[in-house]
Amino acid sequence: MPYEGKEGVYFSVRHNGTATHLESIWPYQPYSDVDFVRIGQDDVEFAVKVMITGPVKNYDRTFQLTINPDSTTAIAGQHYESVQEEWTIGAGSVGTQIKIRLKRTPDLEEKPVTLGLRLLPTKDFDLSFPEWDAIPEYNAGQVVPTFDASQHTLRINDIMIQPAVWSGSLQPGNKESGLFGIFSRKKMEFLTEALGLKYENFSSLETMPMARQMLVANDATAALIKRYEEKNPVLEDDGRLMWMGSVPWTSYVGVPWVPVP
């Protein structure tokens, strides 16, 4: 049967799916997480998909985009650059990708910010789904049951938490142990600088199997010892010597290193 309804636009963003389900049944979401720690760049052109309802046309059509102040804590010029207001759905197309230039700033390491986006109607398009009702039984992943699909929120942060794969722990008395000791942002930055590793490498056992973890610990140990012998030791934020693998020193969280005269 032919389509009956609005010729409109909506944010078409799916995530929270699993590898065992097709993306086509992942749930639609009213937000996107922008994790700079995973992106690994100081600025990014973040893409958000916008789709249409109604027939495809053989000519270009436009829709409008604006910032939604009710869902925005990000600061213009600091966390994001000015947003293009008019966008085009090309002839023969059913959607497009809008792109927002976002910036990595030091404050994002401590506190996330949000950037709310809102579609506006034009002579070419109405708003397709001001109320989107999910069908949970057809979705795979976390479902937001009802939201306005003419709005979308970017949740922007640079907060680094312990990744899924991390072979290290803290013993009684706050003593570090295991292959990696306890996780810290500074330790991950050291692994990136010294060994060329990325935060994403530690996301699963597929990318960081135990054999590779052992190699990482060995190589990191050698790099830390070399820095120590060069009288340029790597210190954690609390002043203690960074600990990994089989370095010849112990590490107690909160106890700073005291150089031997």
Q: Where are the domains of the chain?
A: 8-157, 160-260
Fold for 8-157, please state it: Immunoglobulin-like (2.60.40)
How many secondary structure helices (H) and strands (E) does the chain include? 3, 13
- Which pLDDT tens digit goes with each residue over 176-208? 999 999 999 999 999 999 999 999 899 899 999
Rounded-to-10 torsion of CA 204, 154, 135, 132: -170
pTM above 0.85, yes or no: no
Copy the structure tokens of residue 243.
Answer: 């600990």
Query: What pLDDT shows up at residue 17?
Result: 65
Instruction: Tell me the pLDDT band of 220, cut-offs 50, 70 and 90.
Output: very high
Q: For residues 178 and 165, what is the distance between their CA atoms, to the nearest angstrom?
A: 13
DSSP state of 92: T
Spell out the residues 6+ positions from residue 126 whose beta carbon is closer than 8 angstroms to its own. Answer: 6, 7, 8
Q: β-strand 61-67 against 31-35: which pairing, if any? A: unpaired
DSSP state of 242: P
Instruction: Tell me the pLDDT band of 62, cut-offs 50, 70 and 90.
Output: very high
Q: What is the mean pLDDT of residues 163-187?
A: 94
- Which pLDDT tens digit goes with each residue over 25-38? 788 999 999 999 88
CA 193, distance to chain mean position in Å, is 21
